[in-house]
Amino acid sequence: MIADYRIYVLKIKIYCFSINIYLYLACNSKFSVMKKNTKQILSVLQVATWIIFIGLCIKAGAILFSFLVSLFIDPAGAKNLYLELNLYALKDYSTFHYVRLGSLLVLLWILKAYLFYFVIKIFLKINFVHPFSTEIAALILKISYVALAIGVFSVTGNAYAEWLTEESVVLPVLDEHLGGGAEYLFFAGIIYFIAQIFNKGIEIQSENELTV
Note the residues at the interface with another protein (CB under 8 A).
206-207, 210-212
The CB-of-131 to another protein minimum distance in angstroms stands at 19
Q: Is 193 exposed, middle or buried (0-12, 13-18, 19+ CB in 10 A)?
A: exposed
168 versus 211: smaller Cβ distance to another protein? 211
The CB-of-24 to another protein minimum distance in angstroms stands at 39
DSSP state of 161: H
166 versus 209: smaller Cβ distance to another protein? 209
User: Which amino acid does the sequence have at 92?
Assistant: D
| Cα distance between residue 106 and residue 189, in whole Å | 24
Residue 64 contacts residue 102 (beta carbons within 8 Å): no
166 versus 207: smaller Cβ distance to another protein? 207
The CB-of-212 to another protein minimum distance in angstroms stands at 5
165 versus 208: smaller Cβ distance to another protein? 208
| Cα distance between residue 136 and residue 199, in whole Å | 10
The CB-of-133 to another protein minimum distance in angstroms stands at 18
DSSP state of 154: H
34 versus 210: smaller Cβ distance to another protein? 210
The CB-of-208 to another protein minimum distance in angstroms stands at 9
The CB-of-33 to another protein minimum distance in angstroms stands at 25
Backbone angles phi, psi at 33, to 5 degrees: -60, -35
Chain-centre distance for alpha carbon 180: 10
What CA–CA distances, in Å, run from 105 to 29, 111, 135, 158, 193? 34, 10, 30, 11, 28
3 versus 212: smaller Cβ distance to another protein? 212
